[in-house]
Structure formats: structure tokens, C-alpha cells
Amino acid sequence: MLNDPRSHGLWEKTAPPPPKTGPLAGAVTADVVIVGGGYTGLSSALHLAEAGTKVVLLEANEIGFGGAGRNVGLINAGMWVMPDDLPGVLGPVYGERLLDMLGNAPVLVKTLIEKHGIACELEKNGTLHCAVGRDGLKEIEARAEQWGRRGAPVNILDAAETARRVGSSVYAGALLDMRAGTLQPLAYARGLADAAVKAGITIHTGSRVTATERNGDRWMVKTATGSVTADWIIVSTDAYSTGPWEQVRSEQVHLPYFNFATVPLGGNLRISILPNREGVWDTKEILSSFRMDQAGRLVFGSVGALRNTGLSVHKSWAKRSLKKLFPQIGDIEFECEWYGKIGMTEDALPRFHKFAPNVVGFSGYNGRGIAPGTVFGKTLASLILGELAEADLPLPLTDPREPSFRAVKEMWYEAGAQVAHFADARF
């Protein structure tokens, strides 16, 4: 995509091809028009189509172009926010409702993968939230206790068990979450698209929305080469939003995040590093994440953008850090490198917006797009089908609002990550 190997990296290299699509041409009609071909839009489309709804999905670029095709591939439950904090932010009803939905969201992801035979390198052995030092251990212990009170299958591993599972002795412990797992994120998006097409929806890629117009009780959504008239619009463009719903992008601060993928590791290294194939992320403020793909490549990432001086700074840091984490790995070469943008809201929680009558969308996934995007897509389908009332949604209705100093914060995140990675590779 973009003729740029740093946009989607390993995922584009190894994902199965998407279903054949092309730009919208002429005027068409539908029950629902979906704008955006990521997890939320594709999940909505699939669930609507299975209920017999006529759906047209418009994607400005390609399926999985945004965060869906660039993320690490961790199927996490919940959000960054501590479980007990959600009722304080959203109130007891919405807080517990959101926790319940997102806690069970990975189950929906795995169910869809198995139901539709999606080839996306699914691993079901959980994730490890690894503690850096005593403070990190306190953080994961609190998180485990709060999820445990809600019946979640999480537990704390000591340093020795963490070292055995990770293949490194740098961590003070880890929270093992068996709800979670890993997958090939672009392959999952393309698989959802293929399943949705087989269920009867129409996808038009290269079809950026330029305008909308209300005609009586229906909406006309326009592109440069055509239009779709429908009863409902689902906006699922999130952090990469442009055009009529650019306010969705504007309410989020972009946090750049990069990944490097090693060449496939040898047999002994595959046995010693992540032998159970859990996904890993740590408790550092500028966090790191890593996981293994099915070919034995170690995918290692952190905050930062691979452009300008950031490319050399972050690559040097990644190589130093991997040697610190895994001395047995030696001098390793990277096969792929890429980065994208995480959309961060002011309270690190997602949003539900009603932009106009029958124009709805969820956004603001804060680096947790796979499971939330999938379950929120199903939720929007249920809302349109009348299976769910607006009052029963997991989030209250809010208006998009731009955070203060957004541009300054974005520059600081990119520059600050370079400074931190230039200075240090300690754990």
C-alpha cells in the first residue's frame, strides 16, 4: 500500500490477498452505507449482511489501510484504563457495561475467525503484561485483582515463570490474560472483508467520501465517481479520518508506533523465546511490545515514527534492546520495518457519536483496536437492526471535541520517543 514498505511492513508481505474490489462508479442504493474498511466497518458489514441487510462499504484506500493493517496484532481484552477506573469516568452503568463487553470481545474475534475459516495466524495462549521493576509489579497486581473480582481468567506469574515464558530474565513478573492472544492483523481484516463479501455486501476501495446530503429520510454519500443512497451511515474511519468526519481524527492525539520484524529465528531461539507464542507488552511509560509470527519472526515495537532521524534512532534502539532482552539472539537483522498512528482520546476511552439522524460510529480505540473494533462493529449492526436500543449501548452519546494542544502533543510524542530511545535501552 502507498508503494511504501514502511506503511504495512510484514503484514502486507505475509497476508493472504484481499477480495477483489474497485472504486464506486455511478449511483447505487443500499440499506446501510459504511465508511471505512477497518475492523469496525468490516464487522458491522458482516453482521448486517448475515441479517439480510443490503450494505455498501466505501474505503478511501485499501482494506485494512489504517490501524487495522499496521498494529502489533495483540487481541487484548479491556482498555489501558484500570478496570475500577471505568465506572468513575463513565458512571456505574456504562462503566461495568463497557468492561463486560470488552472483557469478552476476544471471544468474538476467535469465534469469527473459526466460523469463517480466516487464515490469520491466530494464537490462543494469551498475553503477558510484563512488569518492569517494583512499580510495574504493583501495577499488574492491581490490574489482576480488579479483573479477578469480575471473574476474568487472569493471574500473576512470578519472575521465574515469566522468564521461562518470555525467554528473558529482565521482568519482575507478568500478568497472564488467557482471554487474549495474537493474530496477523491485516490478514484478519482481509478475512473479515472476504467473509462479508461472501455474505452479500459490496466493497468499493479507492472511494474516498467527499460529501453527504440528506434527501428526505435517506442519506446520499458521495465520492468522486459515484454515490450511495441509504437509510443509515456507519462512520468507521477512526484515527485516519478525513473529509466529512475529520472531527473524529481531530478529537484524537496521534501517537506514532513502530514495529521491526526480525528474519525467522533458528530452531533453538524459537524454543527459548516465547515458546508458547504469547503476545507481550510491558509497563514502561514508553512501552515496548513483542510477539512471534508463525514463521518465527520476532516482531518488536515501541512508540515512535520511522521517518527522518527517527528511523536510525529507533532501529539502533531496537537492536540494543533486543540484545538486552535476549542475549542469546546475538546480532539480528530486521526483515521488515513499519509504523502507524494510534488515536488517543483525552481519557484513553473510546467514543460513541451520533453525527446526525441515522449517522453513527464508534472511535478512539487508544491502541486496542482488534477486539474492541470487532465487538463495536457488531454492536452498531445490532443498533441498526433494532436488536439493541441506544440507551443499552456500552458508551454514552458524546459530541466530538478536540483536545487542547493536540498538535503540540503529537510533535512531543514523536520527538520525545526519539530522545528516550537515543538515550537508553534499559529495562
Looking at residue 1, what is its pLDDT?
A: 78
Number of helices (H), then strands (E), belonging to the chain: the values are 13, 20
pLDDT band at 315 (very low <50, low <70, confident <90, very high): very high
pLDDT band at 100 (very low <50, low <70, confident <90, very high): very high
For the chain, give the percent of residues with pLDDT over 90: 96
Whole-number Å distance between alpha carbons of 132 and 135:
7
Looking at residue 53, what is its pLDDT?
A: 98
Give the model confidence (pLDDT) of 359-389 as tens digits. 999 999 999 999 999 999 999 999 999 999 9
Instruction: Please list, in sequence order, all residues whose beta carbon lies within 8 angstroms of the beta carbon of residue 151, skipping any fewer than 6 positions away.
Output: none
Q: How many residues can be counted in the chain? A: 427
Looking at residue 227, what is its pLDDT?
A: 98
The alpha carbon of residue 7 and the mean position of all alpha carbons in its chain are separated, in whole angstroms, by 15
* Res. 273: pLDDT tops 80: yes
Give the model confidence (pLDDT) of 279-296 as tens digits. 999 999 999 999 999 999
Looking at residue 3, what is its pLDDT?
A: 81
User: Using CB atoms within 10 A of its CB, is residue 197 exposed (0-12), middle (13-18) or buried (19+)?
Assistant: buried
Q: Is the pTM of this model over 0.85?
A: yes
Looking at residue 426, what is its pLDDT?
A: 55
Whole-number Å distance between alpha carbons of 191 and 187:
6
C-alpha grid cell for residue 307? 521517518
Looking at residue 2, what is its pLDDT?
A: 75
Give the model confidence (pLDDT) of 11-55 as tens digits. 999 999 999 999 999 999 999 999 999 999 999 999 999 999 999
Consecutive H or E run containing 422: helix 406-423
The overall average pLDDT reported for the chain is 96
pLDDT band at 80 (very low <50, low <70, confident <90, very high): confident
* Res. 427: pLDDT tops 70: no
Looking at residue 424, what is its pLDDT?
A: 77
Neighbours of 100 (CB within 10 A): 13
Three-class secondary structure of residue 102 per DSSP: helix
CA proximity to 176, closest of 167, 165, 168, 184: 165
